[in-house]
Amino acid sequence: MKCSHSLTDSDSPWHTPSICLPKRAMLVPAMAEVGLAELDGQGCLVAVNGNFARLLGRDPAELVGTALAELMLDDDAGTAWAKQQLLLVGSGEGPLYARFHQGEQGECLLRLDWMLRQPPADAGLLLAASPLAGPMPTLINRELAAKVIEHTQEGVVVTDGRGHIQSVNPAFEITTGYSLEEVVGYKPSILKSGCQGADFYQQMFAELAKKGFWQGEIWNRRKNGEIYPEWLSISAIRDDAGRVEHYVGIFTDIGTQHQVQERLRYLAYYDGLTRLPNRALFFDRLQLELAKASRDGGQVAVLFMGLDRFSHINESLGHGVGDRILQQAALRIQAGLREGDSLCRMGGDEFSLLLVPIRDAGQVSAVAEKLRRLFTEPFHQADLELYLSLSIGISLYPDDGVEPDTLVKHASTALDRAKELGRDNYQFYTRQLNQHVSERLVLEQALRQAVEQEAFSLAYQPQVDVNLGRVIGAEALLRWHHPTLGWVRPDLFIPLAEELGLINPIGDWVLRQACCQMARWLAQGWNLRRIAVNLSPMQLRQRNVLQRVHDVLGTCGLAPEHLELELTEGAIMGNVDEASACLSRLSESGIQLAIDDFGTGYSSLAHLKRFAIDKLKIDRSFVSGVPHNANDGTIVATIISMARSLKLSVIAEGVETGKQLAHLQAHGCYEMQGYLFGKPMSAAEIEALFDRPLL
């Protein structure tokens, strides 16, 4: 572009009539050895000498009024940088190195020096240009490098050959809190935290002297006293003779990275909910203790613990309550441990405990019993009191295994056995349990197939009215015969079905078969009152249990008053409010409700009054003791009396002798079932009892 200056012909020192200078223009010697040019405040040429014009291969008159930047090449990074500098005319920056067009086809490399660094406001700026051969000087690269260092996020510190600080960049000042003025002349040891010993620094300097480079993690101290980790790289800068002129240190604050790593390490080895060590850390500790025990000839115990029926809490009260119960359980277990014992959460409601050192199994039994008793007190959540028991499986090193996986597996097997034996107990692993586990797996697979194929049957045990002397109904009892396993006892496969989540489809099948059979009997004219069917706790907790029951009744064509559902005390006491509402809906629909095995659970009279039940069923364990056992006789009489006061009917199960019948009848119990009247039998067999007196 052309600059808008007006030129005159007077007072020209250039001996070139065609070049006119303004009166304020500086005199440019025509015979100078270097090219000289005067620029105004916009970077435009006001005057040039002959040498300057010859360097560019241009006519002097052609150059006057042209912006110097417009004469430069556009394809060179260094020239682009120089153009930027020309925008700061008079700032004192320089020298500049740039490529220029030289005539029509050539190009030249010039060094530009400002001759006047701080000109008056009304004066121009004198520029000296000299030719250079070869590549662009490295000074441009150095200037660029200086700007990169100034703006980099890493801290940079430059020292002399003796290690005294000469320069730092802004990132150094931000990270350390020290300004350049505060550290210049000092050695970087001003940042030393004391976290590393003399050996660390000796090794650092030895490697730096040998290789000219060192990098690693180091802990330094900020100006405010805070200690922080940084990743530091140090390079030695040598002259042509090989002497160290400078050291350059570049570092990054990795404090945040350390925090992330610590968090990841915590998550890798600790349970986020209970803050206990997790499975991975437990196995690490177990491995160490086993190695020590192997060396010293010691013993180690592994306890595998599970909260009994914990899944019911999650299902009925939600996982939020369940999580808080797990946290309380962890604290409760920890309160019963010895110093040095290692507790961890294995997952879900299962915990493991490492006991070292131990003398014998008796000592382990004492610990297990202590832990079990810690769970006799209820857990409190909001307005709820929740009771949970603890089952424990135990394996011992070296008797039950010498590898961590083996010991934990055997302790888990023992825990399963403890749950099968009624929960709220502890069991040691034995070799016989291996066989038991294998049998369980076979049984599990067979049970799943039986559910798919509905390979079950029902047996019916008669219920009689002793005053009438005849059958008034029957209890439907589930039976399973497997082609290879034979008859499988209900006390084996029903708890397994509950554990595997198969009890609902099985329960639906039993209810449907029993109701349809009762409908057929009534259609045949038999004078029966009801068919009794057991309802599992899991069935009762189904939100649509009422609809499911009525769907079965509708399918079979059976009136609700002919169905009696039997529930255990444990089923209705798990969540009193929910159970009470559910039983009320069932009762209002006309279905009869009975509490099975009454007296063996933990219901109270106060709770009993809240439930819409019709009948109490006296458990066989009490009936078997009468009349010779006074305590059993008193319990039976009390249950009968309580039922009468609550206007409930009562039935006794397990009646096998005439003396038992007479005792029950004398105390006002007139409905009974048991071997005295008939064992569980097929539908065809029980029909033979319907038309004849039994007493």
Q: What is the CA 394 to chain-centroid distance, rounded?
A: 28
**pLDDT of 668 strictly over 70:** yes
* 72 bridge partner residues: 100
- pLDDT tens per residue, range 10-45: 333 233 232 333 333 344 444 445 788 888 777 788
Residue 479 confidence (pLDDT): 96
Confidence of residue 581 (pLDDT cuts 50, 70, 90): confident
Looking at residue 26, its pLDDT comes to 40
Q: Which of 450, 445, 497, 472 is nearest to 670 (CA)?
A: 472
What is the pLDDT, as a whole number, of residue 10? 33
Full-prediction pTM beyond 0.75?
no
Long-range CB pairs of 265-274 (<8 Å, 24+ gap) are 271/344, 271/345, 273/323, 273/326, 273/327, 273/345, 274/326, 274/327, 274/330, 274/345
Q: 233: closest CA among 221, 245, 216, 219?
A: 216
The pLDDT of 268-291, averaged and rounded, is 89
Which has more pLDDT, 660 or 108? 660
Residue 127 pLDDT exceeds 60: yes
Of 684, 178, 133, 156, the C-alpha closest to 458 is 684
Question: What pLDDT was estimated at residue 601?
Answer: 55
In 187-243 the beta strands, taken as DSSP E runs, fall at: 213-221, 227-238
Q: b/e string for 54-81 if b means 16 or more Cβ within 10 A?
A: ebbebebeebbbbbbbebbbeebebbeb
What was the pLDDT predicted at 524?
Answer: 94
pLDDT of residue 4: 46
Residue range 445-690 in CATH 3.30.70.270:
no
| Chain mean pLDDT for the chain | 83
Of the candidates 409, 415, 494, 404, the one whose C-alpha atom is nearest the C-alpha of residue 447 is 494
Q: pLDDT tens across 360-405, in order?
A: 887 888 888 889 989 988 888 877 788 889 999 999 999 899 999 9
Cβ neighbours of residue 181 closer than 8 Å, sequence gap 6 or more: none
Instruction: Check residue 11 and give its pLDDT.
Output: 34
Domain(s) of CATH 3.20.20.450: residues in the chain: 445-690
Supply the pLDDT for residue 32. Answer: 45
Beta-bridge partner residues of 458:
478
**Which pLDDT value is given to residue 597?**
75
Mean pLDDT calculated for residue range 437-458:
88
pLDDT exceeds 90 at position 670: yes
What is the model's pLDDT at position 120? 42
- Cα–Cα distance measured from residue 544 to residue 165, given in angstroms and rounded to the nearest whole number: 80
CATH of domain 283-430: 3.30.70.270
The 8-class DSSP code of residue 74 comes to S
Residue that wins the pLDDT comparison between 88 and 226 = 226
SS3 assignment for 369-422: HHHHHCCCCCEEECCEEECCCEEEEEEEECCCCCCHHHHHHHHHHHHHHHHHCC
Distance (Å, whole) CA 96 – CA 458: 104
470-482/486-488 β-pairing = antiparallel
pLDDT at 86: 66
pLDDT band of 198, cuts 50, 70, 90: confident
Is the pLDDT at 478 greater than 90? The verdict is yes
Tokens of 110: 């010039």
Range(s) of the chain covered by CATH 3.30.70.270: 283-430
The answer to which of 215-219, 600-604, 687-691 has the lowest mean pLDDT is: 600-604
Are the beta carbons of 106 and 57 closer than 8 angstroms?
Answer: yes
Query: What pLDDT score does 9 carry?
Result: 34
Q: For residue 396, which phi and psi values (nearest 5 degrees)?
A: -125, 140
Per residue in 421-445, pLDDT tens? 888 888 888 866 556 666 777 888 9
Q: Which of 163, 168, 251, 253 is nearest to 205 (CA)?
A: 163
In this prediction, residue 607 carries a pLDDT of 62
State how far the Cα of 2 lies from the Cα of 45, in Å rounded to an integer. Answer: 9
Over 60: is that where the pLDDT of 469 sits?
Answer: yes
Q: What is the pLDDT of residue 456?
A: 96
Would you say residue 311 has pLDDT above 90? no
Classify burial at 529, counting beta carbons within 10 Å of its beta carbon; exposed 0-12, middle 13-18, buried 19 or more.
middle
pLDDT, tens digit (0-9, with 9 covering 90-100), for 318-340: 888 889 999 999 999 998 887 77
Q: What does the DSSP 8-state code read for residue 189?
A: G
| More reliable by pLDDT, 381 or 258 | 381
Q: Which of the pair, 232 or 116, is modelled with greater confidence?
A: 232
Query: What average pLDDT score do residues 255-284 get?
Result: 78
The pLDDT value given to residue 439:
77
When pLDDT is averaged across residues 588-613 and rounded to a whole number, the result is 76
DSSP string across 562-614: GEEEEEEHHHHHSSHHHHHHHHHHHHHTT-EEEEEEETSS---HHHHTTS---
CB 614 within 8 Å of CB 649: yes
**Pair of tokens at residue 539:** 């069935």
Q: How far is CA 382 from the centre of its chain?
A: 26
Q: Which helix (H) or strand (E) holds 285?
A: helix 279-296
- Given a cut of 50, whether residue 87 has pLDDT beyond it is yes
Percent above pLDDT 90 for the chain: 38
**Class for domain 35-135, per CATH?**
alpha beta
> By the 8 A CB rule, do 49 and 35 touch?
yes
Q: Is the model's pLDDT at 177 over the cut of 90?
A: yes
- Listed in sequence order, the residues at least 6 apart from 285 whose beta carbon sits closer than 8 Å to its beta carbon are 277, 342, 354
- pLDDT for the residue numbered 433: 58
Cβ atoms of residues 650 and 640 within 8 Å: yes
* pLDDT for position 23: 35
Phi, psi of 272 (to 5 degrees): -70, -25
Return the higher-pLDDT residue of 287 and 382: 287
Mean pLDDT of 464-469: 93
Long-range contacts of 418-423 (CB under 8 A, 24+ apart): 418/391, 418/392, 418/393, 419/306, 419/308, 419/391, 420/495, 423/308, 423/309, 423/389, 423/391
User: Nearest CA to 472 among 523, 527, 425?
Assistant: 527
- 664 pLDDT exceeds 90? yes
Higher pLDDT, 6 or 662: 662
Write the CB contacts of 534 (distance below 8 Å, at least 6 apart in sequence): 475, 476, 510, 565, 566, 567, 596
> Token match 């700007």: residue?
147
Average pLDDT over every residue of 259-279: 77
Tell me if the domain spanning 152-258 has CATH number 3.30.450.20: yes
Can you tell me the distance from the alpha carbon of 83 to that of 153, in angstroms, rounded to the nearest whole number?
27
Query: 464 forms bridges with which residues in the sheet?
Result: 471, 672
Residue 147 has pLDDT above 50, yes or no: yes
The predicted structure's pLDDT at residue 380: 85
